[in-house]
Chains A and B, each alone.
Chain A
């Protein structure tokens, strides 16, 4: 497992659910394994974030997140 935490380009459906993203090449998402919300450091004014654990066509597992009210997506974690 590797912590990346970098902004990435992501393609989403209308409900802002990710369907593909770029990280060293394009990754097509075939399944959302889990989804949750995190409040983060509210005391520092940080926004809530939506986290997706996704499986891609190449068999990889990734954790992507997006802060509430903000456009950019981030790749947080890559599973081995």
Chain B
């Protein structure tokens, strides 16, 4: 193909955030199709798309030119292109200053900054928002000339061009003329662009609607940001020449500019930080010293095996140049430990003995026989990824330590791109298309979690959509646009744990900007950051760590003692409970699938828990690995091995390939692969690479196996067996890291249920279940729940003589400062009366209402309705009149005002009830027990005295509904009807592709797990999904498996149908 005589130098992608209508792939593809030798990317005030753009362009064989359309002071736009790495670094610095020196989301670069960072940059005068074109359009010629001279001063004639655009907008000819005259006057050159915002005209509606979203405009409304025509597409060179036929030199200059730009963005640079070392010591030396020091402490005796393993790992770490990285992580872990911050390393880093000896992880991979190469290998030579879970309360403190140690200019949080998925796309585009808000809300709420391009297919697939009665054809245009913007970035967010530390100032490498809550983030996400050469450190925030810590505090407060580090991992009582499937609240073991597994597995040692953590994952479930595992474990299926050498590798998993590390071991044992080659095989298998890749590595495996003395047929069978399972396997080191925490939390639940669950309830949201389910579990274990009480409750849930007291923080609308005031005032003197509480606590009206309605003031006066009606009068009598509510809390109890007393709130304001001087309450009856329960549930998210289902059963009969407790008496296959509040309905992926729904029904005695197969789901799925799910009654048959039981549903109805006495 001949090289085209034109290159687009001003192009926006979806990374212009709601100002780009075509994917980067499509834009690059179009440029390649036109034979363009290069393409520029110039998104608004960011370089987010630069890495992907460079990779795509290089893959397609065209030159990527990295640039941006920068907003200058005065809101003027300027197109900047990086000529070389210096120019790229200057773009990063300019963009960072534009963002961080201004209000969030309103970046503006100062002209002085532009002048200071102009080296290596080519500037084009920009679109109609550029200073020069804008002045020309307003016929302010002298000012336009002065502006052009300013830019000329900064960039010189070689690097500053007046930009003419083939936009065919009103004033097009006049602007062309004006820019031409200016160029001639100043002796500078023109260049042609098309301010591309989409690849072809067909994407104009996408761009127009995204503009509507960005400007909060309806499609029928006028807004200056909306384009008058569809001309800003990636036009062919011929079309550009036709539109700008009077300016041939401007077209030719695009090639000249492209030629002046050499590669600017360097990927895979060694940018990870250098650890500050003691004088005279190198990083490898220090790492070696610390690893051996830790090994002595971990192992006591340094055996040959330990030494060899350490040397092996250190060799790879040093050869790949990651000693500094390990030291950095070691230092962070050491800091956390010194500060008493609970943490645990997770992921494949737990395959490393060095990480274990540095006390980064707690898994002894040597003892477990785990291969380091699953984590790092010379062949893979990828950056290591060490993830650490920290106590959620102190994670930011750890991050701050890193900022302080390495300098704020070298540390930042990694960004994420919030992208358009089905719901967000429907909401945004639906609004732009002027659909009524309530209609859009209804559709969005009905949608399951879907990609935005899967909506059409979902309409027939999901019963909640199919049977919704919504007129789907009416939304065809909406869904078509949603599909086109699937995955487009909406805004920049903050990665939950990713922190990046750079050897040099980060602004040499990435622009920084402010995300929500003032966090400074990179403009590249975790993948692009790594492509650049930076190493991300995942400092994750895990509430389980906080709950463990809290439970230990609770245990101590009760005068008991437990050493968490010394919890016996063979505690029989704990295993016995796990084997009953009673694992609610236990880290990693509490989901219905885990509970079902535990009730059948008969775990007796930590290895069983490790296997459990790995088994209940989408991969192993989809790969149907659970059943053979259990059958073999119980001797119901023979454990066989295809080759004697497989036995020592697969014995612990009964011949099933469960762990990724096992694939590595097999490849080594059977084919004599090196550890690195073995990891390559694992990656080919687990990442579902191409058939060619698979065949190639298969041939290699078989050839080497034969050389290793294995028969061809056996080698082929082993390979196919591995290929079948490897994509479902789980990292054993990661499972082992989680299993220890899982068992220890099981131990705490078993021996200290009140203390542990009180801590879990204080750390919400966490785990699989909501507080009300945790409370049912507490009661089931014989632990009573105590009402919140203004005189007795703390900020957190607490333990009082074996009972759990609901915290004041649990009360809806409660703000931290009000909580402080309540507790501070009662420290001086307990509240003697409701009036005393109102006057001294100073809490807002909404919080008072919540406290009264949930029973937190019962100890001051037992009639909640009387107190509720007294609130306004009491507040009127406050000395400082501090009765006004917070803005947020003002909406607080609207939903709760179901009071049936014949008085309105306004009316009550005019009544004193005669208690100006003493507390005399109006003579009105208290709320009914049902009203009290419903209020508690609405305000606390739990019911304190009685479960709602228990109440309904007592008052309304619930005839024919079997309780979760009675269920255990029924035989396998027996028909039953159960009922309760629906907990976590979900549809995990299955191998067959058919839908199987799992959910639990909660009643006053516990949970009943329900399984619903495809045909029943197609009939009743609409009740479970697509909005608020009512309490349900499920008819089905009892399934007994091991110690567990569940109900297989064949009919589902609303529970209220069985309220026989109502």
Q: Is the CB of B172 within 8 A of A39?
A: no
Q: Is the CB of A48 within 8 A of B172?
A: no
Q: Is the CB of B205 within 8 A of A43?
A: yes
Main secondary structure of the interface of A (DSSP, over half): strand
Q: Is the CB of A48 within 8 A of B230?
A: yes
B184 to chain A, nearest CB (A): 22
Q: Is the CB of A35 within 8 A of B172?
A: yes
B166 to chain A, nearest CB (A): 11
Q: Is the CB of A39 within 8 A of B174?
A: no
Among A35, A42, A48, A51, point to the contact of B208 (Cβ < 8 A). A42
0/1 interface trace, chain B 163-178, chain A, CB 8 Å (1 if under): 0000011111110000
0/1 interface trace, chain B 229-244, chain A, CB 8 Å (1 if under): 1110000000000000
In whole angstroms, what is the CA distance A31 to B174 when docked? Answer: 13
Please tell me if B890 contacts chain A, counting CB pairs below 8 Å: no
In whole angstroms, what is the CA distance A61 to B174 when docked? Answer: 16
Interfacial chain B residues near A35, Cβ < 8 Å: 168, 172-173
Please tell me if B683 contacts chain A, counting CB pairs below 8 Å: no
Asked whether A39 and B170 contact (CB < 8 A) given A48-B229, A48-B230, the answer is no
In whole angstroms, what is the CA distance A36 to B168 when docked? Answer: 5
In whole angstroms, what is the CA distance A41 to B205 when docked? Answer: 10
0/1 interface trace, chain B 146-190, chain A, CB 8 Å (1 if under): 000000000000000000000011111110000000000000000
Q: Is the CB of B229 within 8 A of A37?
A: yes
Question: Which of B173, B208, B433, B477 is the most central at the interface, judged by chain A CB atoms within 10 Å of its CB?
Answer: B173
Please tell me if B204 contacts chain A, counting CB pairs below 8 Å: yes
Interfacial chain A residues near B230, Cβ < 8 Å: 37, 39, 42, 48
Please tell me if B228 contacts chain A, counting CB pairs below 8 Å: yes
Measured CB to CB, the nearest residue on chain B to A53 is B170
Please tell me if B553 contacts chain A, counting CB pairs below 8 Å: no
B479 to chain A, nearest CB (A): 14
Question: Which residues B222-260 have CB closer than 8 A to chain A?
Answer: 227-231
Question: Which residues A16-40 have CB closer than 8 A to chain B?
Answer: 32-39
Asked whether A34 and B205 contact (CB < 8 A) given A43-B219, A48-B230, the answer is no
Main secondary structure of the interface of B (DSSP, over half): loop
Using C-beta atoms within 8 Å of the partner chain, give the interface range for chain B. 10 to 19
Q: Is the CB of A34 within 8 A of B171?
A: yes
0/1 interface trace, chain B 579-602, chain A, CB 8 Å (1 if under): 000000000000000000000000
Q: Is the CB of A39 within 8 A of B168?
A: no
Asked whether A36 and B205 contact (CB < 8 A) given A43-B219, A43-B433, A43-B477, the answer is no
Q: Is the CB of A42 within 8 A of B168?
A: no
Q: Is the CB of A42 within 8 A of B170?
A: no
A55 to chain B, nearest CB (A): 13
Q: Is the CB of B204 within 8 A of A36?
A: no
In whole angstroms, what is the CA distance A39 to B173 when docked? Answer: 19
Among A32, A41, A42, point to the contact of B204 (Cβ < 8 A). A42
Among A32, A33, A38, A41, point to the contact of B229 (Cβ < 8 A). A38
Asked whether A36 and B174 contact (CB < 8 A) given A42-B204, A43-B219, A43-B433, the answer is no
Interfacial chain A residues near B205, Cβ < 8 Å: 42-43
Asked whether A36 and B229 contact (CB < 8 A) given A42-B204, A43-B205, A43-B433, the answer is yes
Q: Is the CB of B228 within 8 A of A39?
A: yes
Interfacial chain B residues near A43, Cβ < 8 Å: 205, 219, 433, 477
In whole angstroms, what is the CA distance A38 to B230 when docked? Answer: 8
Measured CB to CB, the nearest residue on chain A to B209 is A43
Interfacial chain A residues near B168, Cβ < 8 Å: 35-37
In whole angstroms, what is the CA distance A36 to B170 when docked? Answer: 5
Q: Is the CB of B228 within 8 A of A36?
A: yes
Among B173, B220, B231, B433, point to the contact of A37 (Cβ < 8 A). B231
Measured CB to CB, the nearest residue on chain A to B228 is A38
Interfacial chain A residues near B171, Cβ < 8 Å: 34, 36
Interfacial chain A residues near B231, Cβ < 8 Å: 37
Measured CB to CB, the nearest residue on chain A to B477 is A43
Asked whether A39 and B204 contact (CB < 8 A) given A34-B172, A34-B173, A48-B229, the answer is yes
Q: Is the CB of A34 within 8 A of B477?
A: no
B239 to chain A, nearest CB (A): 13
Interfacial chain B residues near A42, Cβ < 8 Å: 204-205, 208, 230
Asked whether A36 and B172 contact (CB < 8 A) given A42-B205, A43-B205, A48-B230, the answer is yes
Interfacial chain A residues near B433, Cβ < 8 Å: 43
Interfacial chain B residues near A51, Cβ < 8 Å: 170
Interfacial chain A residues near B208, Cβ < 8 Å: 39, 42
B247 to chain A, nearest CB (A): 16
Among A32, A33, A36, A48, point to the contact of B169 (Cβ < 8 A). A36
In whole angstroms, what is the CA distance A71 to B174 when docked? Answer: 28
Measured CB to CB, the nearest residue on chain A to B168 is A37
0/1 interface trace, chain B 195-228, chain A, CB 8 Å (1 if under): 0000000001100100000000001100000011
In whole angstroms, what is the CA distance A36 to B136 when docked? Answer: 18
Interfacial chain A residues near B219, Cβ < 8 Å: 43
Measured CB to CB, the nearest residue on chain A to B169 is A36
Measured CB to CB, the nearest residue on chain A to B227 is A39
Question: Which residues A46-71 have CB closer than 8 A to chain B?
Answer: 48, 51
A23 to chain B, nearest CB (A): 21
Interfacial chain B residues near A34, Cβ < 8 Å: 170-174
A61 to chain B, nearest CB (A): 14
B76 to chain A, nearest CB (A): 23
0/1 interface trace, chain B 647-661, chain A, CB 8 Å (1 if under): 000000000000000
Interfacial chain B residues near A48, Cβ < 8 Å: 229-230
Interfacial chain B residues near A38, Cβ < 8 Å: 228-229
Q: Is the CB of A39 within 8 A of B477?
A: no
In whole angstroms, what is the CA distance A57 to B252 when docked? Answer: 38
In whole angstroms, what is the CA distance A42 to B220 when docked? Answer: 10
In whole angstroms, what is the CA distance A34 to B219 when docked? Answer: 27
Interfacial chain B residues near A37, Cβ < 8 Å: 168, 228-231
In whole angstroms, what is the CA distance A48 to B231 when docked? Answer: 11
Interfacial chain A residues near B228, Cβ < 8 Å: 36-39
User: Besides the contacts A34-B171, A37-B230, what 8 more A-B pairs have beta carbons closer than 8 Å?
Assistant: A35-B173, A36-B170, A36-B172, A37-B168, A38-B228, A39-B208, A43-B433, A43-B477
List 16 A-B pairs, Cβ < 8 Å: A34-B172, A34-B173, A35-B172, A36-B168, A36-B169, A36-B228, A36-B229, A37-B168, A37-B230, A38-B229, A39-B228, A39-B229, A42-B230, A43-B205, A43-B433, A48-B229
| 6 shortest interchain CB distances as A-B pairs | A37-B229, A36-B170, A37-B168, A39-B229, A39-B230, A43-B219
